[in-house]
Chains A and B, each alone.
Chain A
Amino acid sequence: MTTHPANQQFDVIVVGAGPAGSAAALLVARAGLKVLLLERGEYPGAKNVSGAVFYGSAILNELIPNWWEQAPVERPVCRRDIAFMSPTTAVALDFRCAGAGFATAPYNGFTVLRPKFDRWLAAQAEAAGAFVLTSAVVDDVLRENGRIVGVRVRREQGEIYGKVVIACDGVNSFLAKKAGLQREFHPHELSLGVKEVLGLDPAIIQDRFHLTDNDGIAYEYLGAITEDVHGGAFLYTNRDSLSLGVIGQVSSLVERRKRPYELLERFKAHPAVAPLVRGGKLREYSAHLIPESGWAMKPKLYTDGMLVAGDAAGFCLAAGLYLEGMNYAMQSGLAAAETAILACQKGNFSARTLSVYQKNLKQRHVSTDFRAYRHAPSFVNGPRLQNLYPEMVAQGMEQIFRVDGAPKRKILPLAYRMVRQSSIKPGQLLRDVYQVARAYLW
């Protein structure tokens, strides 16, 4: 790479060096095409935020065999917990898997720290031949005869041309809006995640979380943790730190006048969480938006000369049990790259040619997953499932286990009484059960 590419036309311009953009640039570069990866940060990943468990190990393994041996990963996730919380109690479902694919290659997921991970991934794209330019903020798309032919970087003589532009600029994509592909989001479609990284001795982490060697655990929390704000919380183990955070729907944060960091403090003080984070020393604090409404937020994914991938396209599955965005970002980035490569081969960059993107997304299970879970977000992210039911489960368990001289109740009458005491109508409950089933079971 000693050529001077200034003023030259690129085959593909990728905007945003998150997992979507770097994966796309990597694949395009490998196809021998000229690709420019533009990133506004001082280095890729500088300001990027996730929990983060990266569940795309198998996907990345196809691109870079045994990638985890060279990438800055923290711990493979071999245990997953889902906890239902009331203000004082917690009921958890604990999944452990020491078996193939979780604790062994290609692994199911790894905890990662985004600044390191994103930087590494972009370096892979660079090594494959992509031209990676940092400190480059894209502030508009360039059009000729109605089609997109490049982007403008916020610098002198910032116009740069490419046959296909792939917008991977994250949630609330500026580019997708500029191209008229995406509308403004409603506050109920976005969540705000606030997150801390707490330093902790690896030996303490192993002891405290009952982990063998380098294994890791991912906890997701539902229920009273976010009070009446719709949302949840998470806690993941890194090598020598914990990542933990609270996620709250923007509209309900505003309505309830709750500040996210207050919720984070409450979360850390919860009796089920406090012993886990005790002694942790604050290393970093960050906040970021999450597109939570899945299918409903999906923009038009392509237009003449441009494709949208990753969070920019709303491909983030944030639905109770799941908080997965990086893997879908990567998958959709790869699908977009495949589409762009095909368009370059054909020499045709019209929306018609680029519509293959939809097929490619299906093949990579992105659109199929989001279609399948299209009913999940609006309902799962609603108040009853995120707050009320988990809290009832936690309280119910408390009553089942409580021995206080009062007559023991069987579970059904107990449940019946709890429902009666709550604001939920029996008909509503049945409908909810059906909805949960529809969201997750079939």
Chain B
Amino acid sequence: MRIAVCLKYVPDPSTIEVDPLTGMIDIGRVLYMMNPADESALELALRLRPPDGTVTVFSVGPIEADRLLQDALAAGADAALRVWDDALGSLKPIVTTTLLAAALRVKALPDLVLCGGHSVDRGSGTVPALLAEHLDWPVVTDVTQFEIQSGRLRARRRLARGARAESEVTLPAILGLETGLVHLRQASLPNLMRVKYTPIPLYGLEELGLSPQDLHFPAMTLHEVMPPRPRARMMFTPDVGGSVQERVAQIMSAGVAGKAGKILESGTPEQQADAIIAFLCQRGFLEQPT
């Protein structure tokens, strides 16, 4: 089995200091590290790798990210590849994933791609899903555990409010893993020394067969971030028409009715998305699109 792991080079939050004189982050003092969720993804990949399997690590980042790929090699990854091009500006997740998808293809597509679910810097949590879109593969996010049996992968997911879910997909697939599941093993001294001057292959746009246009996406602007608006609570008033007993019973039960959910099973994905939007508008979570 061939496994790919996507590693991100991120600032270590404990080294971020705001210069009290200028109010700016003191860039010179920031140290970088492997994104923690990616680190546990790498460790899981190394544990999963069968004797005839390989683990290849990928990173989109500047030359400094070589150190992180070297650390991955020291820990036991078989090969590493860095993607960078001086023409790249700020890396939106959609750009990063376009590059990663191209890099995965260059190396011949693996059977499984592991990503950290969230990065400590940007933390959009969209990379696994966007990558899945590029490759047209299934993706499971918020994964805490998984096992593979004859080409099928069963994953446990941690959802909001303590909910758990289990999903099953066929390989090849992409997983977005939770942070802190396992710690990356410590490299042995010979390995640490061996990788110190190991050159990391670099792939630019040309090597990936991409042109700058391929990285041009319609601009998306974030206008505002709002906390979810609490829904207005409906005061319960018993039905005046009923008998006294009925009204008392209604008051005693405070009008509680079970939460009504609805599962959309029919229609195209577009129709289903429209139905969800309509539902959210109706309940006041979204404004009516104009």
Q: Which residues of B12-26 have CB atoms within 8 Å of chain A's CB atoms? A: 17, 19-21
Cross-interface CB contact of B193 among A6, A156, A201, A281, cutoff 8 Å: A6
Contact A155 B196 (CB under 8 A): no
Query: What residues of A have a CB within 8 angstroms of the CB of B28 in the complex?
Result: 116
Cβ of B31 within 8 Å of any chain A Cβ, yes or no, is yes
Query: What residues of B have a CB within 8 angstroms of the CB of A153 in the complex?
Result: 189
Cβ of B192 within 8 Å of any chain A Cβ, yes or no, is yes
Contact A199 B21 (CB under 8 A): yes
Query: What residues of B have a CB within 8 angstroms of the CB of A282 in the complex?
Result: 20
Contact B20 A199 (CB under 8 A): yes
Interface membership of chain B positions 60-102, coded 1 if the CB is closer than 8 angstroms to chain A and 0 otherwise: 0000000000000000000000000000000000000000000
A88 to B19, CA, bound (A): 33
A136 to B196, CA, bound (A): 13
Cross-interface CB contact of B188 among A2, A3, A135, A155, cutoff 8 Å: A155
Contact A1 B197 (CB under 8 A): yes
Query: What residues of B have a CB within 8 angstroms of the CB of A283 in the complex?
Result: 17, 20
Evaluate whether A240 and B21 lie within 8 angstroms (CB atoms) in the complex, with A155-B189, A156-B189 already known.
Answer: yes
Contact B190 A201 (CB under 8 A): no
Cβ of A158 within 8 Å of any chain B Cβ, yes or no, is yes
Helix, strand, loop or mixed for chain A's interface? loop
Interface membership of chain A positions 276-292, coded 1 if the CB is closer than 8 angstroms to chain B and 0 otherwise: 00000111000000000
CB distance from B16 to the nearest CB of A (A): 13
A199 to B21, CA, bound (A): 7
Contact A160 B189 (CB under 8 A): yes
Residue among B19, B21, B186, B197 having the largest count of chain A Cβ atoms under 10 Å: B21
Cβ of A43 within 8 Å of any chain B Cβ, yes or no, is yes
Evaluate whether A131 and B193 lie within 8 angstroms (CB atoms) in the complex, with A43-B31, A155-B187 already known.
Answer: yes
CB distance from B56 to the nearest CB of A (A): 21
Q: Which residues of A29-79 have CB atoms within 8 Å of chain B's CB atoms? A: 42-43
Query: What residues of A have a CB within 8 angstroms of the CB of B197 in the complex?
Result: 1-4
Evaluate whether A5 and B21 lie within 8 angstroms (CB atoms) in the complex, with A42-B31, A157-B188 already known.
Answer: no
Contact A6 B194 (CB under 8 A): yes
Cβ of A142 within 8 Å of any chain B Cβ, yes or no, is no
Cβ of A345 within 8 Å of any chain B Cβ, yes or no, is no
CB distance from B8 to the nearest CB of A (A): 19
Closest to A115 in B: B29
Cβ of A418 within 8 Å of any chain B Cβ, yes or no, is no
Cβ of A422 within 8 Å of any chain B Cβ, yes or no, is no
Evaluate whether A281 and B186 lie within 8 angstroms (CB atoms) in the complex, with A1-B197, A2-B197 already known.
Answer: no
- Chain A interface residue count, Cβ-Cβ cutoff 8 angstroms: 29
Contact B192 A136 (CB under 8 A): yes
Contact A158 B189 (CB under 8 A): yes
Q: Which residues of A80-97 have CB atoms within 8 Å of chain B's CB atoms? A: none
CB distance from A29 to the nearest CB of B (A): 15
A153 to B19, CA, bound (A): 36
Closest to A132 in B: B196
Cβ of A7 within 8 Å of any chain B Cβ, yes or no, is yes
CB distance from B11 to the nearest CB of A (A): 14
Contact A6 B19 (CB under 8 A): no
Cβ of A439 within 8 Å of any chain B Cβ, yes or no, is no
Closest to A282 in B: B20
Q: Which residues of B193-210 have CB atoms within 8 Å of chain A's CB atoms? A: 193-194, 196-197, 199
A377 to B28, CA, bound (A): 38
Interface membership of chain B positions 26-49, coded 1 if the CB is closer than 8 angstroms to chain A and 0 otherwise: 001101000000000000000000
Query: What residues of A have a CB within 8 angstroms of the CB of B196 in the complex?
Result: 131, 133
Query: What residues of A have a CB within 8 angstroms of the CB of B31 in the complex?
Result: 42-43
A283 to B29, CA, bound (A): 11
CB distance from A13 to the nearest CB of B (A): 12
Contact B21 A157 (CB under 8 A): no
Query: What residues of A have a CB within 8 angstroms of the CB of B189 in the complex?
Result: 6, 136, 153, 155-160
Query: What residues of B have a CB within 8 angstroms of the CB of A43 in the complex?
Result: 31
Report which A residues bind B (CB closer than 8 A).
1-7, 42-43, 115-116, 131, 133, 135-136, 153, 155-160, 199-201, 240, 281-283
Other than the known A2-B197, A133-B193, what 17 A-B pairs have Cβ atoms closer than 8 Å? A3-B197, A4-B193, A4-B194, A4-B197, A6-B189, A6-B194, A7-B190, A115-B29, A131-B196, A133-B196, A136-B189, A155-B187, A155-B188, A156-B187, A156-B189, A201-B21, A281-B21
9 nearest A-B residue pairs (beta carbon): A281-B20, A156-B188, A6-B190, A6-B193, A158-B189, A157-B188, A155-B189, A6-B194, A199-B20
Q: Jot down 24 A-B pairs with beta carbons below 8 A, ordered by A.
A: A1-B197, A2-B197, A4-B194, A4-B197, A5-B193, A6-B194, A42-B31, A43-B31, A115-B29, A116-B28, A131-B193, A133-B192, A133-B193, A135-B192, A136-B189, A155-B186, A155-B189, A156-B186, A156-B189, A157-B190, A158-B189, A199-B19, A283-B17, A283-B20
